Chains A and B, each alone.
Chain A
């Protein structure tokens, strides 16, 4: 498709604030997401403090925000904390970082487009997200506290009966608004990938990252509206006095049905967990290949596995509702489909292992994080089998085991995957190199402690500890788990402290990092081979013509001819048209340089 080069805006407000440049919008999403990651992480630390030292004053944070109780967490505060932790991490931390930041940054650059298909829509998407972020902050400041019905926002807890006050209403509205933002972004990604691929960039030459992000966008556009309608109906119940989810004595005439919310929520909610992991699968698939210096093993298999997961994710939501009195036959169907989804997931997993098998691994920071993601995702995936099976789920339902499981897959895997992407694309985003040694310390701290935290939760849950308990030890059968929980909390605090290393590294690198080369990782995709670091406003002076896939590594003939172990996606390569004599080795950069 013909793409014009637009002049670059000069005024600060159009260049950095209301920008339509996908690279700037990506950074806006990245910063907002990282801020919320810090906020959600702080809330997590407070939950862990409560479980380590129930009802005692929280150091520092307690003095600042909970002064009325002398710094201790009360039960209502506690419910608000875990509710806001979950919602913030999912909708305002992982989503903007993975999809908002890397989706925006990578898709046009990797497919050879000059910007998104709808640059203005892209800007609206960010600012809608920003409005939802303000609603989240408002929720914290409202009387009677922030939302407190759990991240799932189930009625009747989330109706005016269970959660009076504006905190819950603000969150229902915030979910709706951030949904609008996500849909706008999703439509943009879908159209961009379909219409704006560079000449020769066929579907099966696209990097796995783009595949993951594109499938995510499809899921977003299909299923976020369902969440939007649930949030809207909840808001109507709270504001307009309707009775969609209110039943029983509170309603005179035949009332609504709280179970309906659960259906609507999980029709969205299960695709959502794949929304949060599909981009990571794609990114990790690419990075493992890049740093193992080998082609991605069975690339098409990985692509079809991701497509299969995308399709299946729409029909497994019932496994969140096994314990709601669902008909046994229906439950059995959902069980079968749920276990079926592990097949494509395992295909991906085996492909990753085969990609690194006998590779020349370069253990740089992005690769370390990618390997860490493979490890925690494997552990998380295996623990999920016990929850997908009804008979074992009856025992484990609503225990800390569930918390440990979904944190390993959704939180730990997405978290490590996000950092893998961040360390990998940082030089392209900011034109600076991050400190690799600090990155390595950050990695080892993160992967060890994150495994300990969620591993500890798995053990506690297997021992019967219910999730969301304010003071678990008031129950005799859990009282002996106090030391386990305390040690888990120590690991969580260590994890939190480790992140400070990243904060220092990130800010230091932006301000005074070493200038990055165009292609510091020596990889083959367009953003590294055909764009400066950072790329110019319109990305590509000449839109390149792609001739091969993204993982052309380890060909001995290429090594002999070019003196390097990879071919980029554009250069003619071996024996193609216009081949020079074998003595005149083309300068690697000269091919890509504008």
Chain B
């Protein structure tokens, strides 16, 4: 509901605006965020494969997939910072009217969720290496994985509505 409210806010602002993006603001890059979308999707896939492996009792495979997911998640954050730096340098800042506010506000709140999810995945990874998970407590890995998929789905919406439309 929180992201729902944010998208509602964005839609409201955009439908009231005479021109969107407003004249004079720099164009947002598309290539790098597109790569980043793929990175996050891959990360989601990795954790799904990890859960699948654990279901079959392959605990080492779980750890490996978790490691891949965490690495991809971290890559996403790094690339996101690069995107912010480029856009900032091009002249779009949070105080550049509603457009800048929406761009930085939405992506930053999403990045905060990615960071939180990443911390949880790292924690799960450590516990996985310690051998805490078996095919009998898959739920403990499934729940963080579900959160990770959610963060991913929100990002796809964000990528489409902020960069493409």
Contacts and interface: CB of A to CB of B under 8 A. Distances in A.
B139 interface: no
B9 A233 contact: yes
Interface string A219-232: 00111011011101
A225 B154 CA distance: 15
Given A226-B2, A264-B8, A240 B94 contact: yes
Interface string B1-26: 11111101100110011110010110
A243 interface: yes
Interface residues of A, number: 28
Given A236-B105, A242-B105, A256 B5 contact: no
A241 B94 CA distance: 6
Interface stretch (B28-36, B60-68, B95-103): B95-103
A251 B97 contact: yes
Contacts of B22: 253-254
Contact of A233 (B1, B95, B105): B105
Contacts of B97: 243, 251-256
B4 to A, nearest CB: 8
B109 interface: yes
Interface in A251-276: 251-257, 260, 263-264, 267
B104 interface: yes
B116 to A, nearest CB: 12
Given A229-B6, A243-B101, A263 B12 contact: yes
A230 B1 contact: no
B95 A242 contact: yes
A244 B12 CA distance: 11
Interface string A156-177: 0000000000000000000000
Interface SS of chain A: helix
Interface string B74-117: 00000000000000000001111111111011000100000000
Nearest to B9: A260
Contacts of B93: 241
Given A253-B24, A253-B25, A244 B105 contact: yes
A251 B98 CA distance: 9
Contacts of A225: 1-2, 4-5
A223 B97 CA distance: 28
B17 A254 contact: yes
Given A225-B2, A254-B17, A241 B9 contact: no
A402 to B, nearest CB: 25
Contacts of A232: 109
Contacts of A267: 5, 8
Given A223-B1, A229-B6, A241 B13 contact: no
Contacts of B105: 233, 236, 242, 244
B54 to A, nearest CB: 22
Interface of B: 1-6, 8-9, 12-13, 16-19, 22, 24-25, 93-102, 104-105, 109
The 8 closest A-B pairs by CB, nearest first: A253-B97, A225-B2, A242-B101, A225-B1, A254-B22, A229-B5, A226-B5, A241-B95
13 contacts: A221-B1, A225-B2, A225-B4, A229-B9, A236-B105, A240-B94, A242-B94, A252-B96, A253-B99, A255-B97, A263-B12, A264-B5, A267-B8
